[in-house]
Amino acid sequence: MLRYILVVEDDRKIANVIKVYLREAGFRVQHTDSGREAVKMAMKELPLAVILDLMLPDTSGEEVCQELKEIEDIPVIMVTSKYSEEERVAGFALGADDYVVKPFSPRELVYRVKAVLKRVEKADMRGTKPLSFNDGGLVIDGQSYEVRAGGAEVKITSTEFKVLYTLAAMPGRVYTRDELVDKALGYQFEGYERTIDAHIKNIRRKIEPDTKSPTYVQTVYGVGYRFGGKPDE
């Protein structure tokens, strides 16, 4: 049986429209209006992705997103009526993979789902060697999608991995936020370049010995980011 898209939305009209468009696109769909039930459903049968309304009757969407990410790195597309950039950045900091603001086009939402699923597919990197820096202080394995910092495995989302791998593959090269969105994430939409900052903040928290003075992911003020690790021979 095909894995499904889980729609977590308490507005029945919106949920029904989303389900119709997803099914027309060939997806199997399940729906709940409960955040707690969504977590139970995901634990019972892992979904391909979750479309998650932030305003739920029984719990917050942010809390549900965190619990889903603890189960597995399930792609999560947040849906909300909140438009501010701060809200979007906060959502990405929780591990969300995309962010859609109401009212939205159902066709655009289907496109976002397909784009996120494509992005989280693990690229075929057989035969490639892990990237190792600073005498093994940081190891990024493109085959297993694993990251080790200071010898310990780091729990990292697929989006964070792609951002980190893009930077680490070209040490010293400066990337603008727009370039990171395009190369690491594969598509653009208004305001997304600023959310790269949230992903970078998460990555630093997980891999840097000192987040106030980053060794690996460094800011180039007024431009973007570069990778400062020293490649091992």
| Amino acid identity at 134 | N
Task: Please give the structure tokens belonging to residue 108.
Answer: 């655009």
Q: Which fold has domain 4-120?
A: Rossmann fold (3.40.50)
Q: Is 45 in a helix, a strand, or coil?
A: coil
Q: Where are the domains of the chain?
A: 4-120, 154-227
Going by the DSSP 8-state scheme, the letter that residue 97 receives in this structure is: S
| Equal fold, 4-120 vs 154-227 | no
Per-residue pLDDT of the chain (233 residues; tens, 9 = 90+): 577 999 999 999 999 999 999 999 999 999 999 999 999 999 999 999 999 998 899 998 889 998 998 888 889 999 988 666 677 767 777 778 888 888 889 998 998 898 888 776 655 454 567 899 999 999 999 888 899 999 999 988 878 888 999 999 999 999 998 888 877 666 655 556 667 888 898 899 999 999 999 999 999 998 999 999 999 97
Q: Which CATH number is 154-227's, of 1.10.10.10, 3.90.1150.10, 2.40.50.140, 3.20.20.70?
A: 1.10.10.10
CA distances from 121 to 22, 161, 197 (A): 19, 12, 23
Are the C-beta atoms of residues 4 and 27 closer than 8 Å to each other?
A: yes
